[in-house]
Amino acid sequence: MAGTGQAAGTVQSDGPVQTGPDAPDAPAVPPALTVPAPVSIYLDGSLLKTEAEPVNVNGTLLVPMRRLFEGQGAKLSWNNTDKMVTATKDGITLTYRIGDLTATVNDRTVPLNAPGQISGGYTLVPLRFVSEALGSTVAWDQAARTVHVSTITFETSIRWGVNLRSSPDSGSSPADKATPSLTLVSRSANTGGQLPASAAGTQDTGGSNILELLPTGSKVHVIREVGAFWLEVRTPDNQTGYISAKPKYTDYASPSLIDKQADELIAYGETFLGTPYVFGASPDQTASFDCSSFVKRVFQDTLAVDLPRVSYDQAKEGTEIGLDELRKGDLLFFGARDLNIGHVAIYAGDKKLLHTYSEKYGVRTEAFSDYWKKRLVTARRVF
């Protein structure tokens, strides 16, 4: 654990180590009363092991510069003659001469609360100033005497309350894989549905421990995609786990995830090839379909996208796109039965349609031919 040291004549206060521009001056106390107190520094949840002890100068924490800069992804250069450090990261350029009370960030002069210094052969710089200039956040935990530096941006919003799990929930069918189990194997009473935040630690039927319920409006950082249906995420309170990647739950999207989800959507739809066509078939069963009940069922089972029942209303969902923008999983709407919109198909990629409209063929794939292009009314993207 790293500790704080001090130059003679400064004081280690009992309050938080404030390192921002509003940090108060420490009260004047004779050097003999100076008592160092340990301070730990965590960078993205891991202990930052510095080459030398941090120094508290009037409430500003100075730390060895190299690990602080490089740990936050900055490229560092040092001019030993001028004692000038330059750091660059993501369009940010920070320039600072050791000992000065100002620094330059992208040609903007910024005041410092305490100057950097060279001590014991190490170059020390203000922790909060450097971290915030590089786009990180800094938080002080007074009870634990711990500084938390986070380079992570919590960029993804939760659209619908979703359970944070200890592992992805593996299912036995495409629909199971797409729809995380929300049935709880209760250690007390079965609450059903999603787990209350107070019931963390409950296990679902897929064998995954539910860590907590992430409410609508909360933020997470996506660490990585896990297949088509899961995201490994970190929460602002530094928990890591897995949440559903279905578009209902978050606003996260990437080309790679969309491609994987579209592949799963088409693969699941193709499991119904040959299923009989029955006009007016209910989407609550899979023994038969009409065009819109097929589309509704496939999107609901695979991506939890809840479309209206009939094609006319489905054509109002999502965003209109041009034929030159088509990608797998988009919806195509056609005139049929003397209706402006009377038929819907899923674009399956490679100039093919996945749909049903005929008692002879049932669910089928076929070419997106001129026959269909002449009847096209609109194309829509719903995920």
Residues identified as active-site: 291, 343, 355
Residue 31 identity = P
CA-CA distance, 298 to 276, in Å (whole number)? 15
Angle of CA points 167, 170, 171, to nearest 5°? 155
Is residue 186 left, alpha or beta, with left meaning phi > 0 and alpha meaning psi from -120 to 50?
A: beta
Instruction: Dig out the tokens for 43 from the structure.
Output: 């960078």
CA-CA distance, 365 to 273, in Å (whole number)? 8
SS3 state at 174: helix
Q: Which of 222, 265, 262 is nearest to 242 (CA)?
A: 222
SS3 state at 306: coil
Q: What single-letter DSSP state applies at residue 380? A: E
| Largest interatomic CA distance in the chain | 96
Q: Report CA torsion sign: 317, 322, 328, 333.
A: positive
Buried b or exposed e, range 188-204, using 16+ CB within 10 angstroms:
eeeeeebbeeebeebbb
The residues, any chain, with a CB within 8 Å of residue 105's CB and separated by 6 or more, are 92, 93, 94, 95, 133
